Amino acid sequence: MVRNHVEIFLSPEKGRGLRCKKKGPPIKAGTLIVDEEPYCFTLLEGQEEERCHYCLEEQSLLLSCPKCLTAKYCDEECQKAAHRDHLSECDGYRHLMKLPFNLRLLARILYRQSARKYEQGALGPLCDLCPHTEDLKDSFELTTQLAILSRHVNNDILPERAQLESLYGKATCNCFAIHNLDLKEIGVGLYPQAAMLNHNCKSNCVATFRGTRLQIRAMVDIAPGEEVCYSYTEKGNITRERRMELSKYFFECQCPHCLDPERDASMMSVLCPSCQAQVKPNSNERYEKCGSCGFKDFNTEFYEDLETYIQYADDVIHKPRVWATGVEFDLIFRENCLVELDKILHPDNIHVTRILVGAFGAAVQLEEWTKAIQYGKRLEQAFRIYLPPNEPDTGLLYYKMGKAYYHLDDSDNALAYLRQAK
């Protein structure tokens, strides 16, 4: 943590947090606030065979640990660097990698602490993390998860029940998703310093990764005494979706975005069936009257069609396909979905944005540059509305737009977008 910029504070509502020093200068946008290696980390399911288990780099040919045959590394250098941590877990590594990612992380912590007893005490590196033991105690989730864990790790590393519950809460409620340079989640890690940051959907800082190393930077200028906040959830969701996701942290967010009904209304806006103007819902998510032409006949058929289209969009994004897999088909499905969504949903509707994100990514991957620009321009507008300045998603969009224009020999637009990405 960069101590010359921030200080720790305590509040009755949030507990511990970080803020810009009251008696110091403001933190300028882009300033590094936290620079930290993880206490422990693991890859997500599906990443184990293609990424180094130490540096997380993607490789076509990986070197396996000769003993467990499960841990994989770029080369002997990464294997040597991982030796100290892997030594204690090697015998059980094959079994722990069969666990879901949250329990993998906990299992790696247990193996590490079994070899470093000094990290278990009241002065250990995880001692200040909130375990939420009272919120989790006797819950079905806790009982089930720890039962699964106990079947996949060596019994001699399991601590007494109270300590195990505490570690489960600390690992579950304080971990960070690790992203690659394309902002795709590839792992999770526990970062004790960064975990001091409290949540705000309208965050003023952002996390980026270089391998496993986490860097937190200010996205905007932060005034002296102002809290430094990070968003624990997807910013491009409506309030009830974000609060549902945040419920696992045992609080209900009351940030400006969560208290802004107009933002949610834009995310759920539809096209007027009569004049195609934007119509926003009321607080009960019902559409009463078009402000442009006065249309009011939002009947049962309209709501049934709306529900069908939204379900269609969700299925395209989330429903597994056993046939027609691959990026080519993903682009086709999303393009067909956009044709239907554009009949009833306003361009600002968040379901349109979600489909566009995938369509843009697929077009770039397939090097269909004209389509990429078409979808990218629509995304640019949505990002401008819903994301804060200097958000990495926006920077990545500008970079890929610049790349698309470059491949179409439009150097002026390519340079303009690449400058914005920077």
- Beta pairing, strands 229-230 & 198-199: parallel
Give the mean model confidence (pLDDT) for residues 154-173: 94
**DSSP assignments along 132-175, one per residue:** -HHHHTT-HHHHHHHHHHHTTS-GGG---HHHHHHHHHHHHHHE
Q: Quick check: 390 pLDDT over 70?
A: yes
Q: Positive or negative, the Cα torsion across 154, 159, 162, 168?
A: negative
Q: Quick check: 149 pLDDT over 80?
A: yes
Please tell me the predicted confidence (pLDDT) of residue 15.
83
Burial of 245 (0-12, 13-18, 19+ CB in 10 A): middle
- Tens of pLDDT, residue by residue over 45-98, are 999 999 999 999 999 999 999 999 999 999 999 999 999 999 999 999 999 999
Burial of 409 (0-12, 13-18, 19+ CB in 10 A): exposed
- Tens of pLDDT, residue by residue over 96-109, are 999 999 999 999 99
- Tens of pLDDT, residue by residue over 343-372, are 999 999 999 999 999 999 999 999 999 999
Query: Checking phi first, is residue 251 left (phi over 0); if not, alpha (psi -120 to 50) or beta?
Result: beta
Cα 12 from chain centroid?
Answer: 28
- Tens of pLDDT, residue by residue over 234-292, are 888 999 999 999 999 999 999 999 999 999 999 999 999 999 999 999 999 999 999 99
Q: What is the mean pLDDT of the chain?
A: 94
In degrees rounded to 5, what are phi and psi of residue 215?
-125, 125
Q: Positive or negative, the Cα torsion across 85, 88, 93, 97?
A: negative
Percentage of the residues of the chain whose pLDDT score is greater than 90 = 87
Please tell me the predicted confidence (pLDDT) of residue 197.
95
Residue 388 — pLDDT band, cuts 50, 70, 90? confident
Helix segments in 213-368, DSSP class H: 239-246, 261-267, 300-318, 327-341, 350-365
Residue 1 — pLDDT band, cuts 50, 70, 90? low
Residue 11 — pLDDT band, cuts 50, 70, 90? confident
How many helical (H) and strand (E) elements, i.e. helices and strands, does the chain have?
Answer: 13, 14
Please tell me the predicted confidence (pLDDT) of residue 291.
94
Q: Quick check: 3 pLDDT over 80?
A: no
Please name which of 391, 13, 12, 16 lies closest in space to residue 228, comparing C-alpha atoms: 16
| pTM exceeding the 0.85 threshold for the entire prediction | yes
Helix segments in 206-278, DSSP class H: 239-246, 261-267
